[in-house]
Amino acid sequence: MDIKTHQPTVPPTPAAPAPAAPRDKRAARGATRPGDRIFLGLSRGSGIFVLALMAAIAVFLTYRASIALSENEANFFTSFEWNPSGVPPKFGVAVLAFGTVVSSIIAMAIAVPIAVGIALFITHYAPRRLGGPIAYVIDLLAAVPSIVYGLWGALVLVPHLEGLYGWLDDYLGWTGVFEWNDGAPRSLFTVGILLAIMILPIITNVSREVFRQVPRMHEEAALALGATRWEVIRMSVLPFGRSGVISASMLGLGRALGETMAVAMVLSSSFDINASLLDTGGGTFAQNIASKFNEATVTGRDALIASGLVLFVITLLVNGAARMIIARRKEYSGANA
Amino acid sequence: MAKRIDVSGLNAYYGSFLAIEDISMTVEPRSVTAFIGPSGCGKSTFLRTLNRMHEVTPGGRVEGKVLLDDENLYGSGIDPVAVRREVGMVFQRPNPFPTMSVYDNVAAGLRLNGKYKKSELDDIVEKSLKGANLWNEVKDRLNKPGSGLSGGQQQRLCIARAIAVEPNVLLMDEPCSALDPISTLAIEDLIGELKERFTIVIVTHNMQQAARVSDRTAFFNLAAVGQPGKLIEIDDTERIFSNPSVQATEDYISGRFG
């Protein structure tokens, strides 16, 4: 299958560049040996394959979504309803967008400081004998399947959160955001906590790598001025690692936005937006698709696909932002090399 | 201000490897002392024991005494952080903080040491940059990144940063080895001015430089690779370069080895 797709792309290569610039000629000469030619074909084929796959997904999502959207009687972006099988069908992604974004923000707010703390501990505080094993355990955390996190969340985390909920209600309840009406702690806040644990490893690992790359001479510059260890971190390590930590967080955010099973198992979903993060209910894109897909009608499935398209766009934007930051960082370190 | 350094019986290790053995010397205040010797002889390691930077290297360990006037830097209860605030250091490669402006680079050490009013900071920054012969070149771009300066300017910025906290001693680890001849000359002139105020110790591979800038010169050598480095002799620079008392010194400075 694969090989067939790139065979046709190979023959034009030696023929086409004949009148072109000398650089192309050299490339063509390199491709005349059979090994080179096969490898060129394989790698080019793989590259094209990925692009084609992306395009196919985008086309599929857009096509099916457009069918559903043309039948939708409610405003797709503002409606709180999800009734695509009704007559007429009415559905909107406001609740899902809110739930997805809010739970991810909670996850980030919890995970980023902890991850940065762990990364700093491993690279700058822990003795080498301790840092290695900790890093290894964090890696293991990344390998746990999300369904297992879901099980743990539903069976262990949820029953144990009532104390925390009560405490938050006592001290921060007046803000309205942390008001608790004694419902089951299966809220967006719980989802945020679980997501935080799930995205902790990736943020930790990337931050750790960035902190490890801080040039020794920058740290020594601070040390020689009489900086304590914390001051060295503040003056040399954090400024150097800032953009790396941001892109690490973006990677984590990408995962939090798309997390499905764990959210579906912990959240007691409903189609409304609560002022308090601790109120039971709410929903996320991925969780909604997972829990509704099996019983959905044809229009229902298309509506879910439309919501999937929105998630796809959000994730794309987040990744794009992360790439931009990484690219800027590259220029920056190049200028100082 | 400038203090006398008095080293006795100093050994420095990397793990179990003895890098320098049994070094004793005295460095007079308001003088420039140059350390010369072949690569690997431990002169940089020795320099780094003088502000307790050696021990930040993993496995780094020091035995012996370093007296700054009458205070032993390795005495019990001495905080290495406090030592480094008293003994400034300039490195081989210019290392201004890349994310900080010229101004913030110079003020960095002061901000560590305590609170200053904006006007006080302004004064000290200006004074330090003038002291490093850099003021005229950067006074219009104090808020631009320090990493945007030329290599020689960056090194003088690092000197300004080091002297801003008014250390008692200024250590320089091959401060000109990454610089072009004109920048080198600027730094050498600067060293001549700074010795009015500070005790200066400079490691250099450039023997002409040692002869030009220093009052006293210490020659370090090692018997063989894997053997600890030792202080062969320390004497007035003039005497070291004209009539050293040890044959190895003469061999080294006349280019017969090293």
Report CB contact under 8 Å: B97, A217.
no
Taking contacts as CB-CB distances below 8 angstroms, the residues of chain B near A336 are 98, 147
Would residue A33 be called left, alpha or beta, if left means φ above 0 and alpha means ψ between -120 and 50 degrees?
Answer: beta
Taking contacts as CB-CB distances below 8 angstroms, the residues of chain B near A236 are 97
* pLDDT at residue B258 tops 80: no
Contact A278, A165 (CB under 8 A): yes
B146 in contact with chain A, both atoms CB, cutoff 8 A: no
The least confident of A30-34, A78-82, A123-127, B74-78 is: A30-34
The nearest CA of chain A is from the CA of B90 a distance in Å of 8
B178 in contact with chain A, both atoms CB, cutoff 8 A: no
B59 in contact with chain A, both atoms CB, cutoff 8 A: no
- The SS3 of residue B9 is strand
* pLDDT at residue A89 tops 60: yes
Where do the structural domains in chain B lie, given as residue ranges? 3-91+168-252
Residue A10 pLDDT: 40
* pLDDT at residue B32 tops 90: yes
- Cα–Cα distance for residue pair A336/A21, rounded to 1 Å: 35
- Cα–Cα distance for residue pair A249/A243, rounded to 1 Å: 10
Taking contacts as CB-CB distances below 8 angstroms, the residues of chain B near A217 are 91, 93, 95
* pLDDT at residue B12 tops 60: yes
Q: What is the pLDDT of residues A207-254, one digit of tens each?
A: 999 999 999 999 999 999 989 999 999 999 998 888 889 888 988 998
Report CB contact under 8 Å: A227, B112.
yes
Taking contacts as CB-CB distances below 8 angstroms, the residues of chain A near B85 are 225-226
Q: What is the pLDDT of residues A229-242, one digit of tens each?
A: 999 999 999 988 88
Report CB contact under 8 Å: A223, B108.
no
Taking contacts as CB-CB distances below 8 angstroms, the residues of chain B near A235 are 97, 108
Contact A221, B53 (CB under 8 A): no
State phi, psi for A260 to the nearest 5 degrees.
Answer: -115, -70
CATH 1.10.3720.10 fits A95-336, yes or no: yes
Mean local confidence (pLDDT), B58-73? 91
Nearest to B30 by CA among B175, B197, B217: B197
- Cα–Cα distance for residue pair A270/A108, rounded to 1 Å: 23
* A224 vs B58, B89, B147: nearest CB: B89
Taking contacts as CB-CB distances below 8 angstroms, the residues of chain A near B112 are 225-227, 231
Taking contacts as CB-CB distances below 8 angstroms, the residues of chain B near A246 are none
Residue A197 pLDDT: 94
Mean local confidence (pLDDT), A261-274? 88
Residue B87 pLDDT: 94
* A226 vs B82, B91, B97: nearest CB: B82
The kind and range of the H/E element at A258 are: helix A238-258
pLDDT band at A30 (very low <50, low <70, confident <90, very high): low
Which superfamily is assigned to B3-91+168-252 in CATH? P-loop containing nucleotide triphosphate hydrolases (3.40.50.300)
- Cα–Cα distance for residue pair A180/A168, rounded to 1 Å: 8
Q: Taking each helix axis from N to C terminus, what angle separates A298-335 and A94-120, rounded to the nearest 10 degrees?
A: 30
* B112 vs A218, A231, A242: nearest CB: A231
Residue B5 pLDDT: 93
pLDDT band at A177 (very low <50, low <70, confident <90, very high): confident
* A218 vs B95, B112, B162: nearest CB: B95
What b-and-e string marks burial along A308-335, b requiring 16 or more CB atoms within 10 Å of the CB?
Answer: bbbbbebbeebeeebeebbeebeeeeee
More confident residue, A117 or A324: A117
Report CB contact under 8 Å: A226, B91.
no
B56, B93, B124, best to mutate vs chain A, most A CBs in 10 Å: B56
Report CB contact under 8 Å: B85, A225.
yes
- Cα–Cα distance for residue pair A55/A160, rounded to 1 Å: 45
Q: What is the pLDDT of residues B185-241, one digit of tens each?
A: 888 999 998 999 999 999 999 899 999 999 999 999 988 888 899 999 999 999 999
A212, A225, A229, A234, best to mutate vs chain B, most B CBs in 10 Å: A225
- Cα–Cα distance for residue pair B180/A231, rounded to 1 Å: 33
Alpha carbon A31 to chain centroid, angstroms:
39
Report CB contact under 8 Å: B97, A223.
no
Tokens of A70: 């043309």
Amino acid letter at A185? Answer: P
Report CB contact under 8 Å: A226, B162.
no
Where do the structural domains in chain A lie, given as residue ranges? 95-336
Mean local confidence (pLDDT), A140-162? 92
The least confident of A78-82, B16-20, B51-55 is: A78-82
* A235 vs B84, B108, B147: nearest CB: B108
Match 């081989």 to its residue by tokens: B92
Contact B141, B173 (CB under 8 A): no
B82 in contact with chain A, both atoms CB, cutoff 8 A: yes
- Cα–Cα distance for residue pair A196/B226, rounded to 1 Å: 51
State phi, psi for B22 to the nearest 5 degrees.
Answer: 50, 60
Q: What is the pLDDT of residues B110-150, one digit of tens each?
A: 988 777 889 999 999 999 999 888 999 999 999 988 888 99
Q: What is the pLDDT of residues A40-58, one digit of tens each?
A: 999 999 999 999 998 998 8
Q: What is the pLDDT of residues A195-205, one digit of tens each?
A: 999 999 999 99
